């Protein structure tokens, strides 16, 4: 069961199959709809099917704890630990990734069971041996809360969370042999290196787990308290049970059982605190966030937190499915980055040292190759109180990193070295350009420059040649895409340098920002890999997914990968008309691809919405004088690639980037260049969207987009007004937004080919 509303008498409906997931919305009365809050419309099960790789469990916005069921640990679709197609649950672990294409986490698995435990043999407490069947009919997921019935044991499992702690409520049947298993071996895409577990008393255990997977030597410390004393307990070390008198175990493989006598309707409650630094800090975090045993109060607090966060954008739409899709997307935007510091500010750096009492909240889980595009620009608008901390977290990583570089894809206190570019740079420049000053700007520029000038990830060749060279087939150095993305990052550094009066650096990086031209082949009409001698890769098929030239994409999908100099890119293609024709050709191609890979999904022609390099492309029409074509393409993508079902995200959500695209687009705007404060107008799907602006950062109060005559059919903008004055350009600025006001768009079934033809900002 998945909620539309809460348990206090409001309407809710069952979700029996993916295909009826959205249809049930029509059964809810208009009176019930009028009472809905944003938190009621967000469905955490969206994206848990297909290849969305989201998890359904309990978390709070940007929280360190993600307490969620694990249904599988192996395979690409196990990245979040849960897949909607599965029928068994092996337990509930405390950390999860949302929407990634790589697997990790799922630390500290807890499983409630009944009956006699296995004796002897290897690993008698292995939770995979105790997994239980479940039905989606008996499953409920809402922001900050998860519930499911474990059929094998007749246990009702309920989960909720705070920022650094989780709470479990297990309602067992009447039994003398109820147990809670704690498995420190279990992980998704990782294996333990060391683990320790200490039975401190008849109600408390503590320990830590260090795992190697996508992230290396990532440590988690924990404490778990029970609401009633254990009637017994036991430890398993390296597959063998220890004597009953032994209360501590440390090694590669550690598990435990905690025993209870239970009565129906009298649940066993667990509260668990996590820390990146120590057991002592885990205890402090738990005491600070969950000091009592009132599960419903913690759940209500999580719900209120989510409602406040989701309510920062209030939308109006007569279509329930649109509202649910929108708030599910906004929910997923707020599941990353995640906190990586204790309640007192302590965190562990990439040098494996602890830094106590930091003056900011440290964050990690930054999928920067994805989220620099739309998610971080969105967070500058709706989460301004976190932006300085995001930047300080990246600068701290730079200062503590053995590589002395900004992070690429940080997970916990480690660098995963995933993807390409140095995309902490646009996030930092965008923050500075929008007025955020809660970090050392000179240090930021130095970090940006040091990162760009390092020799890692082919940057030495890029500095020497002005592009990353194609080597030979099979080397996979992603030559063209690296060059394109480096050049955008360099533009951001040049902008930051100019803003700080560093004229030499400004000139250097402005020049480097034009390096995208070095990999454009005018004869082929594509960006391509180029050898050190200057010749283009002879093995060229624009539909081939080739890691020699591109990152998870083909030449079509990187054909428009210039954010910072759209006029220059238009010039390369021969002017506006030819550029628009090239965009049309992208969308109108057949969808055949050579060497297809699972990451390239959401296909429209050769456009691939399920992977991020294409996300800005539909908005380029507007900057080439054809805003109506932007409107058409964006509307089609929203309607065909997103919905309110488990398969409602067409590719990996990538820590919220896929969802951020939808949030922006449904409102009617998009940051085509993620770091210049220009929001291009598309085709709003909702009738009205009101953005609440934080008065500590922005003076405007609210900014509202009204789409008059909006409907599924009325795709095209006929005319526009900004604060009552005619608006003929197809964009607004960040400054105009945050000073408040109203953007009004008149929508119609037929395009107005003359509106918004002014071109580039």
pLDDT tens by residue, 665-676: 999 999 999 999
Of 642, 716, 720, the residue nearest 684 (C-alpha)? 716
pLDDT of 11 over the 60 cut: no
User: Quick check: 365 pLDDT over 70?
Assistant: yes
Spans of all domains in the chain: 37-310
Query: How far is it, in rounded angstroms, from Cα 603 to Cα 610?
Result: 7
C-beta atoms surrounding 761 within 10 Å: 17
Q: What's the average model confidence in pLDDT over 188-210?
A: 98
How many other CB atoms sit within 10 Å of the CB of residue 570? 24
Instruction: Give the tokens for residue 356.
Output: 């106590």
pLDDT for residue 119 is more than 90:
no
- Going by pLDDT thresholds of 50, 70 and 90, the confidence category of residue 78 is very high
pLDDT at 545 over 80: yes
Residue 24 has pLDDT above 60, yes or no: no
Give pLDDT, residue 32: 53
For 124-143, how does the pLDDT look when each residue is reduced to its tens digit (9 = 90+)? 999 999 999 999 999 999 99
Could you tell me if 587 and 607 are in contact, meaning their C-beta atoms sit under 8 angstroms apart? yes
Percent above pLDDT 70 for the chain: 96
pLDDT bin (cut points 50, 70, 90) of residue 5 is very low
- Give the pLDDT score at 644: 98
The more confident residue out of 8 and 758 is: 758
Q: What are phi and psi of 747, to 5 degrees?
A: -105, 150
- Could you tell me how many residues make up the chain? 761
User: Given strand 248-251, what is the order of strands in its sheet?
Assistant: 139-142, 145-150, 155-161, 165-171, 268-275, 218-226, 204-212, 191-199, 248-251
192 by DSSP, 3-state: which?
Answer: strand
Nearest to 642 by CA among 665, 624, 614: 665
Question: Mean of the pLDDT values across residues 260-268?
Answer: 96
Average pLDDT rounded to a whole number, residues 106-119: 96
Query: pLDDT digits over 677-694, tens only?
Result: 999 999 999 999 999 999
pLDDT number for residue 357: 86
Instruction: Indicate if the pLDDT at residue 445 is higher than 90.
Output: yes
Confidence check: pLDDT of 94 > 90 = yes
pLDDT higher than 90, residue 13 = no
CATH 3.40.430.10 fits 37-310, yes or no: no
536 — pLDDT class (breaks 50, 70, 90): very high
Average pLDDT, the chain: 94
pLDDT in tens, 366-391: 999 999 999 999 999 999 999 999 99
Mean pLDDT of 134-159: 98
- State the pLDDT confidence band at 475, using cuts at 50, 70 and 90: confident
Predicted confidence band of residue 33 (pLDDT cuts 50, 70, 90):
low
Q: What is the rounded average pLDDT of the residues 703-720? A: 97
Q: Does the pLDDT at position 28 exceed 50? A: no
Report the alpha-carbon angle 207-209-214, nearest 5. 160
Given this model, what pLDDT does residue 479 score?
A: 97
Residue 12: pLDDT band with limits 50, 70, 90: very low
Q: Tell me which of 116-120, 394-398, 467-471, 697-701 is least confident.
A: 116-120
Residue 115: the pLDDT is: 97
Q: How far is CA 676 from the centre of its chain?
A: 22
Q: Comparing C-alpha atoms, which of 380, 483, 479 is closest to residue 436? A: 380
What is the pLDDT averaged over residues 719-743?
A: 98
pLDDT at 276: 98
- Residues sharing a CB contact under 8 Å with residue 180, sequence separation 6 or more, in sequence order: 110, 111, 112, 113, 170, 226, 257, 258, 260, 268, 270
Q: Which helix (H) or strand (E) holds 751?
A: none
Please give the pLDDT value at position 456. Answer: 85
Predicted confidence band of residue 528 (pLDDT cuts 50, 70, 90) = very high
Examine the pLDDT at 359 and tell me if it is beyond 60. Answer: yes
Exposed / middle / buried, residue 403 (Cβ in 10 Å: 0-12, 13-18, 19+): middle
Among 428, 329, 420, 331, which Cα is nearest to 377's?
A: 428
Segment 627-651 shows an average pLDDT of: 98
pLDDT of residue 15: 34
Q: Is the dihedral of CA 606, 611, 614, 618 positive or negative?
A: positive
User: 211-260, pLDDT tens digit by residue?
Assistant: 999 999 999 999 999 999 999 999 999 999 999 999 999 999 999 999 99
How far apart (Å, rounded) are the C-alpha atoms in residues 301 and 25?
26
The tokens describing 387, both together, are 């932006």
Percent of the chain surpassing pLDDT 90? 92
| pLDDT at res. 34 | 58
Q: CB under 8 Å to 308, separation ≥6 — which residues?
A: none
Q: Is the pLDDT of residue 1 over 80?
A: no
């Amino acid at each position: 069961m998945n909620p539309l509303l809460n348990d206090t008498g409001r309407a809710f409906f069952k979700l029996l199959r993916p295909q009826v997931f959205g249809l049930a919305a029509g059964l809810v009365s208009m009176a019930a709809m009028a009472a809905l809050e944003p938190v009621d419309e967000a469905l955490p099960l969206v994206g848990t099917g297909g290849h969305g790789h989201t998890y359904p469990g309990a978390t709070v916005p940007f929280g360190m704890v993600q307490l969620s069921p694990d249904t599988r640990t192996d395979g690409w679709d196990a990245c979040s630990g849960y897949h909607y197609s599965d029928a068994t649950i092996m337990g509930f672990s405390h950390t999860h990734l949302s929407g990634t294409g790589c697997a990790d986490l799922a630390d500290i698995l807890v499983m409630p069971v009944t009956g006699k435990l296995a004796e002897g043999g290897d690993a008698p407490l292995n939770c995979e041996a105790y997994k239980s069947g479940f039905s989606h009919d008996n499953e409920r997921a809402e922001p900050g809360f998860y519930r499911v019935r474990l059929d094998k044991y007749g246990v009702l499992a309920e989960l909720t969370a705070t920022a650094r702690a989780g709470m479990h409520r297990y309602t067992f049947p009447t039994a003398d042999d109820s147990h809670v298993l704690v498995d420190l071996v279990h992980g998704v895409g990782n294996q333990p290196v060391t683990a320790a577990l200490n039975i401190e008393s008849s109600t408390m255990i503590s320990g830590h787990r260090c795992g190697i997977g996508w992230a290396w030597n990532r440590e988690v410390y924990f404490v778990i308290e029970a609401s009633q004393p254990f009637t017994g307990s036991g430890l398993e070390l390296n597959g063998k049970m220890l004597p009953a008198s032994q209360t501590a175990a440390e090694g590669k493989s550690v598990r435990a059982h905690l025993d209870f006598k239970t009565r129906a309707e009298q649940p066993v409650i667990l509260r668990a605190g996590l820390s990146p630094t120590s057991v002592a800090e885990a205890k402090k975090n738990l005491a600070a966030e969950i000091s009592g045993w009132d599960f419903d109060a913690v759940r209500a607090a999580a719900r209120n937190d989510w409602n406040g966060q989701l309510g920062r954008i209030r939308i109006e739409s007569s279509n329930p499915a649109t509202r649910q899709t929108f708030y599910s997307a906004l929910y997923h935007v707020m599941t990353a980055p995640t906190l990586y510091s204790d309640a007192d500010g302590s965190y562990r750096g990439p040098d494996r040292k602890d830094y106590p009492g930091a003056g900011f909240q440290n964050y990690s889980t930054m999928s920067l190759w994805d989220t620099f595009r739309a998610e971080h620009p969105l967070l500058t608008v709706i989460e301004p109180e976190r932006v300085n901390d995001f930047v300080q977290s990246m600068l701290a990583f730079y200062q503590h990193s053995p590589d002395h570089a900004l992070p690429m894809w940080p997970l916990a206190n480690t660098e995963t070295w995933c993807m390409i570019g140095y995309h902490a740079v646009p996030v930092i420049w965008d923050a500075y350009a929008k007025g955020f000053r809660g970090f050392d700007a000179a240090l930021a520029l130095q970090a940006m420059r040091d990162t760009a000038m390092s020799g890692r990830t082919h940057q030495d060749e890029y500095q020497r040649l002005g592009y990353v060279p194609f080597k030979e087939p099979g080397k996979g150095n992603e030559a063209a895409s690296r060059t394109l993305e480096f050049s955008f990052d360099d533009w951001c550094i040049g902008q930051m340098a100019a803003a700080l009066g560093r004229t030499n650096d400004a000139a250097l990086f402005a020049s480097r920002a034009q390096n995208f031209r070095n990999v454009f082949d005018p004869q082929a009409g594509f960006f391509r890999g180029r050898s050190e001698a200057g010749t283009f890769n002879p093995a060229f098929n624009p539909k081939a997914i080739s890691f020699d030239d591109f990152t998870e994409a083909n030449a079509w999908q990187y054909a428009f990968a210039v954010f910072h100099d759209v006029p220059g890119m238009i010039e390369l293609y021969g002017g506006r008309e030819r550029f628009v024709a090239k965009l049309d050709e992208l969308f109108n191609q057949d969808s055949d691809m050579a060497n297809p890979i699972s990451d390239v999904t959401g296909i429209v022609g050769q456009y691939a919405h399920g992977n991020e390099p294409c996300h800005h492309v539909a908005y380029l029409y507007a900057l080439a004088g054809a805003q109506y074509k932007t409107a058409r393409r964006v509307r089609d993508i929203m309607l065909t690639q997103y919905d309110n079902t488990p398969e409602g995200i067409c590719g990996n959500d990538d820590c919220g980037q896929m969802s951020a695209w939808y949030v922006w687009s449904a409102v009617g705007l998009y940051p085509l260049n993620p770091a210049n404060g220009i929001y291009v107008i598309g085709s709003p799907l909702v009738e009205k969207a009101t953005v609440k602006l934080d008065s500590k950062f922005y003076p405007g109060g609210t900014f509202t987009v009204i789409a008059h005559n909006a409907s599924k059919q009325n795709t095209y903008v006929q005319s526009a007004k900004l604060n009552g004055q005619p608006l003929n350009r197809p964009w607004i600025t960040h400054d105009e937004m945050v000073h408040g006001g109203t953007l009004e768009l008149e929508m119609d079934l037929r395009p107005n080919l003359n509106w918004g033809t002014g071109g580039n900002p």
